[in-house]
Amino acid sequence: MYRRTTLSHNLLDEQRRLGGSGSFTALMTDILTACKMVAHEVNQGALVGNLGVAGSENVQGEEQKKLDVLANDIFLHMNALGGNYAGMASEELEDVHAVKGSADGRYLLLFDPLDGSSNIDINISVGSIFSILRLPDGASPNSADAFLQPGVKQVAAGYALYGSSTMLVLTTGNGVHGYTLNRDVGMFFLTHRNMTVPADTKEFAINASRMRFWEPPVRRYVDECLAGKEGPRGKDFNMRWVASMVAEVHRILVRGGVFMYPADAENKAKGGKLRLMYEANPMAFIIEQAGGMATTGTQRIMELQPTGLHQRVPVILGSRNEVERIVQYHGDKK
């Protein structure tokens, strides 16, 4: 371990390479601190009374867990301290959160402080997802309009995975690297350099309890996978569903696969299940930087023009050849 690079050093290298002022490095350091604090709270669990519901609902009408609220407070507080962000937006807040006293803040932070909330109480992996945008010239961080930029404009995106170990996976548009937290030292060390999604896979992830709502292209893809060696694909597939997008994306980055939360007959009116600005876009950026693909089925996720802070979109991402096949099935409409 002692010969490994730390995330802080890699950020400084990147700053030198880009000739930056240091504010990006500083804001990333604040995110790392927030993630370490959330990791600590998740890890403490029932010992400090962190499990269970908070007794409130978020803007999406979803029941908040105590750790959702705590993780949101940690993100808001830690990332405001450095004065690098002009504003923030969170899954847990209806409106944008302008950062007071940060007239010089040039960046916007969007985050899901604790994704996979249904897994909190059962000690299964959860994570934090974040996306960083520039504050457009002349825009006000008090208005959602400043945040409504397509995913291709992201400066950086990443997630923290609170699993059997805590990891931070990050892209600044120059590949994807993974870092593992040494809790005793309190630092993230580079453990996964240049993460790459294999183009082919024999593994897919979808919530199959929604099968009755699926549209024909998704149903066709899954049916063909399930038919195995005897079917048109000529090989057996395995299936996974953690119900934590961070864990699913991490698995795909490590060994390939496809993750789908498609639009279906039940969720179509809402646009899908997952949120574009702080779930789909950052994960799409990471997956594309690792050589994979991320689509709604008919459009590249990162090219969507957002219309709302909490907009939902269909998400199909992962191994390139499989995602291309699913896109083709959407074109065929069979």
Task: Spell out the residues 6+ positions from residue 22 whose beta carbon is closer than 8 angstroms to its own.
Answer: 15
Q: Which two tokens stand for residue 142?
A: 């008090």
Q: Which residues pair with 169 in a beta bridge?
A: 159, 178
State yes or no: residue 56 binds ligand AHM (CB under 6 A).
no
* Minimum distance of ligand AHM from residue 213's CB (angstroms): 11
Quick check: helix, strand or coil at residue 220? helix
**Residue in the shown chain whose Cβ atom is closest to ligand AHM:** 245
Residues between 227 and 246 that touch ligand AHM (CB under 6 A): 243-245
What is the rounded distance in angstroms from the CA atom of residue 152 to the CA atom of residue 26?
Answer: 23
Q: Which is nearer to ligand AHM, 204 or 261 (CB)?
A: 261
Instruction: With H, G, I as helix, E, B as strand and everything else as coil, classify residue 198.
Output: coil
207 binds, among ligand AHM, Mg ion, none (CB under 5 to 8 A by kind): ligand AHM
Q: Is 115 in the site for ligand AHM (CB under 6 A)?
A: yes
Task: Find tokens 């934090």 and name the residue.
Answer: 128
CA 160 to chain centre: 9
- Compute the least distance from the CB of residue 179 to ligand AHM, in Å: 21
72 binds ligand AHM (CB under 6 A): no
Q: Which stretch binds ligand AHM (CB under 6 A): 15-23, 109-117, 220-228, 305-313?
A: 109-117
For residue 199, the SS3 value is coil
Tokens describing residue 32? 């790392």
Tell me which of 115, 248, 264, 288 binds Mg ion, using CB under 5 A.
115
Tokens coding 188:
């993230």
Give every CB contact of residue 18 below 8 A, 6+ residues apart in sequence.
none
For the CB of residue 111, give the shortest distance to ligand AHM in the complex, in Å: 11
Name the residue type at position 87: G
Residue 80 or 260 with smaller CB distance to ligand AHM: 260
User: Residues 240, 257: contact at Cβ < 8 Å?
Assistant: yes
Question: In this structure, what token pair is assigned to residue 109?
Answer: 């932070």
* Residue 43's binding partner out of Mg ion, ligand AHM, none, with CB under 5 to 8 Å set by partner kind: none
Element containing residue 263 per DSSP (H, E): none
Minimum distance between the CB of residue 153 and ligand AHM, rounded to whole angstroms? 23
Q: Does 112 bind Mg ion (CB under 5 A)?
A: yes
Region of 64-72, 105-113, 192-200, 202-210 interacting with Mg ion (CB under 5 A): 105-113
Q: How far apart are CA 116 and CA 219, in angstroms?
A: 25
Measure the CA–CA gap between 327 and 316, rounded to whole angstroms.
9
Q: Which is nearer to ligand AHM, 30 or 91 (CB)?
A: 91
What is the pairing mode between strands 166-171 and 156-162? antiparallel
Residue 112 or 322: the one with the smaller Cβ distance to Mg ion is: 112
Pick the stretch among 111-119, 180-188, 218-226, 229-237 that binds ligand AHM (CB under 6 A). Answer: 111-119
The answer to whether 264 contacts ligand AHM (rule: CB under 6 A) is no
Q: What residue ranges bind Mg ion (CB under 5 A)?
A: 112, 115
Q: What residue ranges bind ligand AHM (CB under 6 A)?
A: 62, 91, 112, 115-118, 207, 243-245, 261
